[in-house]
RNA sequence: GGGCCGGCAGCUCAGUCUGGACAGAGCGCGGGCCUUCGGAGCCCGUGGUCCCGGGUUCAAAUCCCGGCCGGCCCA
C-alpha cells in the first residue's frame, strides 16, 4: 500500500543545510560548554575533490573552547549523528579542521528532482512577501529624448526585481514616474512652439525626433543665456496653469503635454521590445497641489522657514545634511524634490514597501527626501532605494543634452544584426522562413542586451564597449543555447518517462547539475533580499555552464543502459523547468531553436 | 574642501555584508575535441604585489584607521 505522499520541500538545499546545522549544533552543545547557539556556516563550493559541502565551524570555535581546531572537528563528528542523516554519505575532518561532507547523491538527487517536478513553474518561489503590497518604481526617464543604455540599466534592474518579487509573493505594482514638468521639458516645449509645433515624421520614432529637437534647444540656450529666462517663464506658467491660477497658459500647457506624450510613446515602444512592463504611469504634475499643501504644513509645524524673499527652505542639519533644502522658490513655484515628497507620501499610503531604482546621482536628493518624510512622520524606512552607477561611453558619460548616447533601440538592433550573422555562419534554422529567423534573432538580441546589463552589480560603473557587451560567448545567448540544447534532446527522445531512479545520477557532471538546480530557490531569495539582479544573472550563467558540461560529457539518448537513459532524460527535463523559471525572471526568452 | 561608490589576471567581472583550505569565471593567448544528443559548445594549459601603508586576528581580498587613483553628488 502506498503511503500518503508528503509534498516535497520548496527549497531542498535549505533542508540539507538545516539538517547539517542542527546535527552539528547539537553535537557542539553536548560536547562543549558554549553559551550561545553557534553559527554554523556552510560552504556549498568547497575546493576539495569528492566533497560537496563543508563547514569551518571548528576553526572559529578554537578560541572559545581552547582546543585545537582539528580536535574540535573530530569531537563534533564523534558526538554528532551526521552519519545517520540520510542526505549525508560521509563526513570527515580535513586540513586545519574543516568538516567536509560528501552527500548521499542518490538521496539528494531524488529529493531535488521531486521538488522540481512537484512545483514545476513554481519551483524556486518562496513566500517572502506574504502577499504584502509593494510599489516598485523604475525607469522614470525624462521624456525629452529616447531611452539610452543608462535608462536601460534602470529599467532592467527594476524589471528583474519586479519579476522576482511577484514570484516570491509580493503584491507588486510597477510604476513609471513621468517627470513632465522639469526644466528639460520646458526647454523642449519652448523649442517645439518655436519650430511651429512640428509633426513627428512618419519614419521616425517620436522620442528620437524630440530628442534631436531637445539637443538643438539645449545648444541654442547655451549660446544665448537670455533664453534661460524664457524657459523659466514657461515653467512658471505651466505650474500656475496646473494650479488654476493662469488659465491663459493653455498653449504652453499643450506644448508640454504633447512633447511628453510623444516621448513617452517612444519609451513604451522600446520597453515593450525589451519586455519591460509597467502597471501604471504616474505624472509629476499630478502632485503640484499636494506639494503646495506639504510646504504649508512644514511651515506650520515650524520645521520649514519662509525667508523674506518668499522662498521656503528647510534646514536638515539634524539629519547630517549640510545643504539646506529649498521647497519653494522666491517666485512661489515648487521644486522637483517638493513634488517627489508628495509622490512618496502617496506611495507610502498605498503600499507596505516602496522601492525606487535611481541613478547614483540621486543620492543626496534621496537623503533629503527621507529626512523630510521623517519630519512628516511618514516612515522613511519603508522606502528602499536601489542606486546604480552610470554607464560611460569611451567618449565620456552619456548626455541627452549633448545628444551623446547609445539608445536602447540601437543596442538591440546591433545585437539582432550580430545574431543573424551568427545564425547564417552556423547554418542554423535554414529550413525556416525569413520572418521566423528574424524573430529568433530578435529574441536572441533581447536576451543578449538584458543579460549584458543585468550581470554587473548595480554599484559598479560600466564602461560600455560594443564587442564586450555583445559577446555571445559569455552572455544571454550562452544561456539560451543551453536551454535549446536540452529541448533538442527531449524532442528527439520523444517519450514520456514516468518512473526513474535518481541513483543513476551520481556521476560528477550529472550531480553538479542537480546540485546547481537545488540552489535556485536560495538564489532568487538572495536576489530579492539584496536587491541584486546580478546575483540571478550569475546563477543563470553557472547553471547553463553546468548543463553545457553535462551535455558534452554525459550521453543521454545514447546512454549505455535503459534505466540510466531514463534517469538522464528526467534530469534534462528538470533542467528545462528550472532554466525556464530562471529565464522568465531575467526576462531572457527561452527558445526551442536558435 | 565634504559625502557616497568603485579599484582583484593584459581586458571584463564574481567573491567583501556574514574573516577560514591553493583568490574564482569569461575574453585573450597556446594546445586538443565534429563516425554519438546542435561546435553560439566542451576539455587541458597560460596568466594575479586582490591600489598602497599600517592595525585587529590563530587566520584578512573580506573587518578598522590613514593615503592614492577614477566616477557621481554637494560646495
- Report whether A559 contacts A568 (CB < 8 A): yes
Apex A418 CA angle, A417 and A420, nearest 5: 65
Protein residue closest to B23, using CA and C1': A47
**Residues composing chain A:** 594
Q: Which pLDDT band, with edges at 50, 70 and 90, does A366 fall under?
A: very high
Identify any residues that bridge with A313 across adjacent strands, giving them in sequence order: A305, A326
Find the Å distance, CA of residue A45 to C1' of nucleotide B56. Answer: 28
A497 touches strand B (CB under 7 A): no
Taken in order A341, A346, A347, A348, the sign of the CA dihedral is positive
Q: Which nucleotide is nearest to A555 (CA to C1')?
A: B37
What is the SS3 assignment for A102-171? Answer: EECHHHHHHHHHHHHHHHHHHCCCCCCCCCCEEEEECCCCCCCCCCEHHHHHHHHHHHHHHHHHHHCCCE
A417 touches strand B (CB under 7 A): no
Residues 550-579 on chain A lying near strand B, CB distance under 7 A: 551-558
Q: Check residue A288 and report its DSSP letter.
A: H
d(CA A412, CA A148): 11
Contact between the CB of A584 and strand B at under 7 Å: no
Average pLDDT of the segment spanning A296-316: 93
Nucleotides of B strand lying within 7 Å of any protein CB atom: 2-7, 11-15, 17-18, 20-22, 24-28, 36-43, 57-59, 70-75
Question: 10 Å Cβ neighbour count for A378?
Answer: 16
In the DSSP assignment, the letter for residue A329 is -
**Residue-level pLDDT at A1:** 46
Q: Please write the tens of the pLDDT for every residue from A314-357.
A: 999 889 888 889 999 988 889 999 999 999 999 999 999 999 99
Q: What pLDDT does residue A369 have?
A: 96
Has residue A2 got a pLDDT over 60?
no
Are the CB atoms for A142 and A179 separated by under 8 Å? yes
Listing DSSP states for A448-485 in one string gives: HHHHHHHTS-TTS-EE--HHHHT-GGGSHHHHHHHHHH
- Determine whether the distance from the CB of A429 to the nearest atom of strand B is below 7 Å: yes
At A557-581, the pLDDT tens digits run 999 899 999 999 999 999 999 999 9
pLDDT number for residue A4: 58
CA dihedral A47, A48, A53, A57 (to 10 degrees): -80
Q: Are A185 and A400 in contact (CB under 8 A)?
A: no
**SS3 state at A564:** helix
Distance A221 CA to B57 C1' (A): 61
Q: Which residue has the higher pLDDT, A62 or A358?
A: A358
Lookup result for grid cell 512618496:
A344
Return the higher-pLDDT residue of A175 and A248: A175
> Which ranges constitute the DSSP H helices of A149-225?
149-167, 183-194, 206-223
Segment A441-495, tens digit of pLDDT:
999 999 999 999 999 999 998 888 898 899 888 899 999 999 999 999 999 998 8
How far, in Å, is the CA of A527 from the C1' of nucleotide B24? 20
The rounded mean pLDDT for chain A is 93
Q: Would you state the cell numbers that stand for residue A63, as one nine-digit string?
A: 578560541
Determine the distance between A358 (CA) and B72 (C1') in angstroms: 12
Full-model pTM:
0.96
Predicted local confidence at residue A37, as pLDDT? 76
pLDDT at position A246, please?
77
Nine-digit cell string for A536: 540571478
Classified as helix, coil or strand, A272 is helix
- Asked if A168 contacts A207 with a C-beta cutoff of 8 angstroms, the reply is no
CA–C1' span, A534 to B41, in Å? 24
A145-A149-A153-A158 Cα dihedral, nearest 10 degrees: 40
Contact A88, A75 (CB under 8 A): no
pLDDT for A6 beyond 90:
no
Question: Which residue(s) pair with A136 in the sheet?
Answer: A174, A355
CA distance A200 to A473: 40
Residues A125-137, mean pLDDT to the nearest whole number: 97
Give CA–CA dist A86/A81, Å, rounded: 10
Q: From CA A566, how far away is CA A588, in angstroms rounded?
A: 29
A436 touches strand B (CB under 7 A): no
Question: Please, which pLDDT band fits residue A67 given cuts at 50, 70 and 90?
Answer: confident
- Please say if the pLDDT value at position A358 is more than 50: yes
All cell numbers assigned to A487: 529541448
C-alpha torsion angle, residues A222, A226, A230, A236 (rounded to 10): 90
Rounded distance, CA A186 to CA A241, Å?
Answer: 14
> The cell 503511503 sits on which residue?
A3
By the 10 Å C-beta count (0-12 exposed, 13-18 middle, 19+ buried), A46 is classed as: middle
- The neighbouring-strand residues paired with A383 are A354
Cβ-based neighbour number of residue A433 at 10 Å: 8
The answer to whether A412 touches A449, Cβ cutoff 8 Å, is: yes
Q: CA of A335 and C1' of B16: distance in angstroms? A: 39
Q: Is the pLDDT of residue A398 over 90?
A: no
Instruction: Write out pLDDT tens, residues A91-122.
Output: 999 988 999 999 999 999 999 999 999 999 99
Place of cell 545643504: A323
Q: In b/e form, how buried is each residue of A234-259, taking b as 16+ CB within 10 angstroms?
A: bbbbbbbbbeeebeebeebbebbbbb
Q: Please compute the mean of the pLDDT values over residues A153-168 and round it to a whole number.
A: 97
Amino acid at each position: 500500500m502506498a503511503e500518503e505522499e508528503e509534498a516535497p520541500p520548496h527549497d531542498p538545499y535549505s533542508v540539507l543545510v538545516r539538517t547539517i546545522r542542527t546535527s552539528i549544533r547539537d553535537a557542539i552543545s553536548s560536547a562543549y560548554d558554549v553559551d550561545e547557539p553557534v553559527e554554523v556556516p556552510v560552504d556549498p563550493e568547497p575546493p576539495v575533490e569528492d566533497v560537496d559541502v563543508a563547514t569551518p565551524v571548528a576553526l572559529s570555535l578554537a578560541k572559545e573552547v581552547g582546543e585545537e581546531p582539528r580536535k574540535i572537528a573530530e569531537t563534533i563528528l564523534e558526538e554528532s549523528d551526521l552519519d545517520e542523516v540520510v542526505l549525508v554519505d560521509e563526513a570527515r575532518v580535513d586540513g586545519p579542521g574543516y568538516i567536509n561532507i560528501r552527500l548521499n547523491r542518490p538521496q539528494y538527487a531524488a529529493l531535488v528532482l521531486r521538488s522540481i517536478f512537484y512545483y514545476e513553474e513554481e519551483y524556486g518561489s518562496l513566500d517572502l512577501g506574504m502577499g504584502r503590497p509593494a510599489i516598485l518604481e523604475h525607469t522614470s526617464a525624462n521624456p525629452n529624448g529616447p531611452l539610452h543604455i543608462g535608462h536601460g540599466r534602470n529599467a532592467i534592474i527594476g524589471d528583474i526585481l519586479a519579476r522576482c518579487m511577484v514570484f516570491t509573493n509580493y503584491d507588486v505594482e510597477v510604476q513609471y514616474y513621468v517627470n513632465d514638468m522639469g526644466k528639460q521639458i520646458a526647454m523642449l516645449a519652448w523649442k517645439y512652439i518655436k519650430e511651429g509645433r512640428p509633426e513627428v515624421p512618419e519614419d521616425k520614432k517620436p522620442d528620437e525626433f524630440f530628442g534631436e529637437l531637445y539637443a538643438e534647444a539645449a545648444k541654442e540656450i547655451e549660446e544665448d543665456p537670455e533664453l534661460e529666462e524664457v524657459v523659466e517663464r514657461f515653467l512658471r506658467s505651466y505650474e500656475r496653469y496646473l494650479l488654476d491660477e493662469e488659465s491663459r497658459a493653455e498653449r504652453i500647457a499643450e506644448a508640454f503635454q504633447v512633447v511628453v506624450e510623444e516621448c513617452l510613446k517612444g519609451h513604451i515602444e522600446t520597453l515593450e521590445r525589451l519586455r519591460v512592463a509597467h502597471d501604471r504611469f504616474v505624472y509629476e504634475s499630478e502632485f503640484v497641489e499636494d506639494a503646495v499643501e506639504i510646504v504649508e504644513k512644514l511651515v506650520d509645524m515650524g520645521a520649514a522657514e519662509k525667508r523674506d524673499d518668499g522662498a521656503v527652505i528647510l534646514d536638515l542639519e539634524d539629519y547630517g545634511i549640510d545643504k539646506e533644502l529649498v521647497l519653494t522658490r522666491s517666485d512661489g513655484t515648487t521644486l522637483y524634490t517638493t513634488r517627489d515628497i508628495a509622490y512618496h507620501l502617496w506611495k507610502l499610503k498605498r503600499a507596505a514597501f516602496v522601492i525606487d531604482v535611481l541613478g547614483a546621482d540621486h543620492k543626496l536628493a534621496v537623503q533629503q527626501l527621507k529626512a523630510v518624510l521623517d519630519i512628516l512622520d511618514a516612515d522613511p524606512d519603508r522606502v528602499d532605494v536601489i542606486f546604480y552607477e552610470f554607464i560611460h561611453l569611451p567618449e565620456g558619460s552619456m548626455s541627452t543634452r549633448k545628444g551623446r548616447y547609445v539608445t536602447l533601440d540601437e543596442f538591440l538592433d546591433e545585437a539582432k544584426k550580430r545574431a543573424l550573422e551568427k545564425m547564417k555562419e552556423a547554418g542554423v534554422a535554414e529550413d525556416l522562413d525569413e520572418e521566423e529567423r528574424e524573430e529568433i534573432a530578435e529574441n536572441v538580441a533581447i536576451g543578449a542586451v538584458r543579460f549584458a546589463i543585468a550581470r554587473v552589480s548595480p554599484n559598479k560603473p560600466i564602461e560600455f564597449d560594443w564587442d564586450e557587451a555583445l559577446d555571445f560567448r559569455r552572455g544571454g545567448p550562452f544561456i539560451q543555447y543551453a536551454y535549446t540544447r536540452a529541448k533538442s534532446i527531449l524532442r528527439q527522445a520523444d517519450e514520456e518517462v514516468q518512473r526513474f531512479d535518481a541513483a543513476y545520477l551520481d556521476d560528477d557532471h550529472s550531480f553538479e547539475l542537480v546540485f546547481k538546480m537545488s540552489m535556485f530557490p536560495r538564489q532568487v531569495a538572495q536576489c530579492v533580499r539584496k536587491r541584486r539582479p546580478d546575483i540571478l544573472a550569475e546563477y543563470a550563467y553557472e547553471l547553463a555552464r553546468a548543463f553545457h558540461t553535462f551535455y558534452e560529457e554525459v550521453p543521454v539518448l545514447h546512454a549505455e543502459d535503459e534505466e540510466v537513459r531514463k534517469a538522464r532524460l528526467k534530469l534534462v527535463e528538470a533542467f528545462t523547468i528550472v532554466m525556464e523559471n530562471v529565464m522568465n525572471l531575467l526576462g531572457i526568452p527561452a527558445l526551442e531553436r536558435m
